[in-house]
């Protein structure tokens, strides 16, 4: 039996062995289901088996073994695999480990079947290596692009509060005998400093999560009702033009990190204020058995369908700074904090129903 036929006939067994290992590589806050994990492995195996069935001359085989093949039939599969893993927060090391696991799963099961066709094994390795190379190149390209974009956003957004502080220092020297004006300038400088502090905090959270860690929690008995009311009061002050509504029912007591949940709610409300187009914004919190749900709704323009799969990734909604004073990390940090609590966050968006971010928190 040829190895390509073996792969087709034993795909389910190969994927089962592969997925058991691949699940251990997923980041702590990854939202990828086992079905998604298996589907992508199946796509690559199908592409590999198809590639192995393409006839090639001795010269083409030599060039392909050197990574110089012209057909590049596996390049698309490898690039798509990288795009998916980047979207789910995988590191480049985890992606490489996935390919090693897939290779090992196929060859181990092929050997156990008593097959020893080395030419087939060579063709398999060449095809998989071509996909791996394309995946690594795409991963490097996307990572470099993300880094450059992120540095640009950071430098731009830090410049605004830093400039306000610098201008405030100059103005203070010209208002020595005007206490009311000095107080206003100092208040603005303080707000700018707090914005910079939030940006740095978000950067630290991003780094921690991207390195495979989880956001640390200080769990204590907390009342989500009080947290929601405090965040709403703060936003009424900073965004007095916004129409904010609060609806709560049932017990809101749980074992949570109050500061982190306040950050989640603030980021979601800030996002709604920014993208809601001036429509009323409703924050709903309610008891559902051993869980509590929090939903933030606005009636602004819906999120484009193409943007929904990556909505919780950094910078996914463009350049604008959100109302929470971050640098395009509001939804990313919200998801990471909810995940650290063992909860879930989802979004629905349409012209008819508006946009709703719903958080589910176990008590």
Mean pLDDT of 160-176: 78
Mean pLDDT of 157-185: 78
pLDDT for 131 beyond 70: yes
Q: Which of 327, 331, 333 is nearest to 150 (CA)?
A: 327
The token pair at 282 is 């409703």
Cβ atoms of 98 and 84 within 8 Å: the answer is: no
Q: How do residues 251-286 score in pLDDT, each as one tens digit?
A: 999 999 998 899 899 889 989 998 999 999 999 999
Q: Sign of the C-alpha dihedral, residues 258, 264, 268, 274? A: positive
Could you tell me which residue, 298 or 175, shows the higher pLDDT? 298
Taking each helix axis from N to C end, the angle separating 11-22 and 92-112, rounded to the nearest 10 degrees, works out to: 140
Whether the domain at 3-145 and the domain at 220-362 fall into the same CATH topology? no
Could you tell me which residue, 205 or 47, shows the higher pLDDT? 47
Contacts of 128 (CB under 8 A, 6+ apart): 44, 48, 74, 99, 102, 103
Q: How do residues 3-23 score in pLDDT, each as one tens digit?
A: 888 888 888 888 888 887 777
Q: Sign of the C-alpha dihedral, residues 190, 193, 199, 203? A: negative
Mean pLDDT of 214-224: 87
Pairwise CA distance, residues 183 & 216, whole Å: 36
pLDDT for 234 beyond 60: yes
Give residue 210's pLDDT band: very low, low, confident or very high (50, 70, 90).
low
Mean pLDDT of 132-137: 83
Q: What percent of the chain has pLDDT over 70?
A: 80
pLDDT for 43 beyond 50: yes
Could you tell me which residue, 173 or 68, shows the higher pLDDT? 173
Q: Which of 126, 100, 1 is nearest to 41 (CA)?
A: 100
Give me the pLDDT at residue 249, please.
94
The token pair at 64 is 């392909």
pLDDT for 30 beyond 70: no
Give me the pLDDT at residue 154, please.
65
DSSP H or E stretch at residue 59:
helix 58-65
Cβ atoms of 322 and 270 within 8 Å: the answer is: yes
Give me the pLDDT at residue 57, please.
66
pLDDT for 247 beyond 90: yes
The 10 Å CB-count burial string (b at 16+, else e) for 64-89 is beeeebeeebbbebbbbbbebbbbbb
Pairwise CA distance, residues 135 & 116, whole Å: 29
The answer to whether the predicted template modeling score (pTM) of the entire model surpasses 0.75 is no
3-145 — its CATH code? Answer: 1.10.490.70
Q: Domain coordinates of the chain in residue numbers? A: 3-145, 148-210, 220-362
Q: Which CATH number fits domain 220-362: 3.40.50.720, 3.40.50.300, 3.30.565.10, 1.10.1840.10?
A: 3.30.565.10
Class of domain 148-210: mainly alpha
Q: How do residues 295-350 score in pLDDT, each as one tens digit?
A: 999 999 999 988 888 788 765 544 344 434 445 678 888 888 898 899 999 999 99
N-term to C-term CA, the chain: 55
Q: How far is CA 313 from CA 4, 206, 323, 339, 357, in A?
A: 37, 10, 17, 14, 15
Give me the pLDDT at residue 156, please.
59
């Amino acid at each position: 039996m040829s190895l390509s036929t073996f792969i087709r006939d034993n795909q389910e067994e190969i994927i089962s062995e592969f997925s058991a290992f691949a699940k251990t590589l997923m980041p702590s806050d990854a939202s990828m289901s086992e079905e998604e994990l298996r589907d992508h492995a199946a796509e690559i195996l199908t592409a590999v088996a198809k590639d192995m069935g393409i006839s090639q001359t001795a010269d083409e085989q030599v060039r392909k073994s050197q990574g110089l093949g012209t057909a590049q039939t596996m390049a698309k599969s490898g690039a798509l695999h990288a795009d998916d893993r980047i979207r789910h927060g995988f590191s480049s090391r985890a992606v490489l480990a996935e390919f090693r696991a897939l290779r090992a799963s196929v060859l181990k099961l092929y050997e156990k079947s008593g097959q020893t066709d080395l030419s087939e094994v060579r063709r398999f390795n060449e095809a998989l290596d071509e996909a791996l190379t394309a995946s690594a190149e795409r991963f490097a390209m996307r990572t470099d692009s993300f880094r450059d974009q992120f540095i640009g956003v950071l430098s731009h957004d830090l410049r605004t509060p830093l400039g306000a502080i610098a201008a405030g220092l100059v103005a203070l020297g010209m208002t020595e005998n005007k206490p009311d004006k000095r107080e206003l300038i100092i208040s603005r400088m303080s707000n700018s400093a707090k914005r910079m502090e939030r940006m740095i905090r978000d950067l630290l959270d991003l780094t921690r999560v991207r390195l495979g860690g989880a956001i640390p929690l200080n769990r204590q008995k907390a009342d989500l009702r009080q947290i929601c009311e405090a965040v709403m009061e703060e936003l009424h002050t900073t965004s007095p033009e916004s129409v904010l509504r609060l609806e709560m029912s049932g017990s809101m007591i749980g074992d949570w990190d109050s500061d982190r949940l306040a950050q989640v709610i603030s980021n979601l409300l800030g996002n709604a204020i920014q993208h809601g187009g001036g429509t009323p914004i409703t924050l709903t919190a309610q008891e559902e058995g051993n869980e509590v749900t929090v939903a933030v709704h606005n009636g602004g323009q819906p999120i484009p369908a193409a943007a929904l799969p990556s909505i919780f990734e950094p910078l996914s909604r463009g350049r604008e700074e959100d109302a929470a004073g971050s640098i395009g990390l509001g939804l990313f940090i919200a998801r990471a904090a909810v995940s650290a609590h063992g909860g879930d966050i989802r979004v629905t968006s349409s012209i008819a129903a508006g946009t709703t971010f719903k958080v589910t928190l176990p008590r």
